[in-house]
């Protein structure tokens, strides 16, 4: 009798646990979104130059989409994204700022997380930035030379 009650208790607990699971979302969904470019090439830019760029896109699907997150591959790459739903046929943009005080090659990415409006489908899209930041001039950070008296020899 104890075995039967134990079995019933285990089954009940298992069923309660499964009943609490949230509705699953399709994590492999590919959003219908068209970008004007997926890679921004800064070319060679000066140290400290403006590192802003913009990726314009259009929702080419049949339902609204929402960009729920945008994450740069490091702290030097900071994305801004629209928080409101983008209706079918409408356009918006992702703005990315890169810290150009970092010298050398730029090979970074931004990962977008996109959901349909009913939030039952989630997909990702990658955007890329590349280029090269020149080192600062050799005299950068040195105080400005001011005129004055010539040294006196003894």
Burial of 96 per CB tally in 10 Å (0-12, 13-18, 19+): buried
User: Residues 80, 22, 25, CA angle at the centre, nearest 5°?
Assistant: 50
CATH number for the segment(s) 33-133: 2.60.40.10
pLDDT digits (tens, 9 = 90+) for 22-81: 444 556 788 899 999 999 999 999 999 999 999 999 999 999 999 999 999 999 999 999
pLDDT digits (tens, 9 = 90+) for 107-137: 999 999 999 988 899 999 999 999 999 999 8
pLDDT at position 29: 81
Give the pLDDT mean for 79-98. 97
d(CA 148, CA 146): 6
């Amino acid at each position: 009798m104890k075995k039967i009650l134990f079995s019933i208790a285990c089954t009940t607990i298992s069923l309660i646990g499964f009943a609490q699971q949230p509705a699953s979302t399709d994590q492999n969904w590919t959003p219908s979104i068209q970008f004007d470019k997926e890679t921004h090439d800064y070319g060679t830019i000066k140290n400290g130059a403006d590192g802003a760029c913009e990726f314009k896109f259009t929702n080419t699907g049949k339902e609204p989409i929402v960009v729920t997150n945008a994450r740069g591959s490091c702290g030097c790459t900071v994305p801004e994204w629209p928080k409101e739903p983008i209706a079918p046929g409408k356009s918006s943009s992702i703005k990315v700022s890169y810290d150009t005080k970092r010298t050398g090659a730029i090979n970074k990415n931004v990962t977008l997380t996109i959901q349909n409006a009913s939030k039952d489908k989630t997909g990702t899209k990658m955007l890329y930035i590349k280029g090269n930041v020149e080192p600062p001039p050799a005299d950068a950070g040195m105080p400005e030379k001011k005129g004055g008296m010539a040294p006196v020899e003894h």
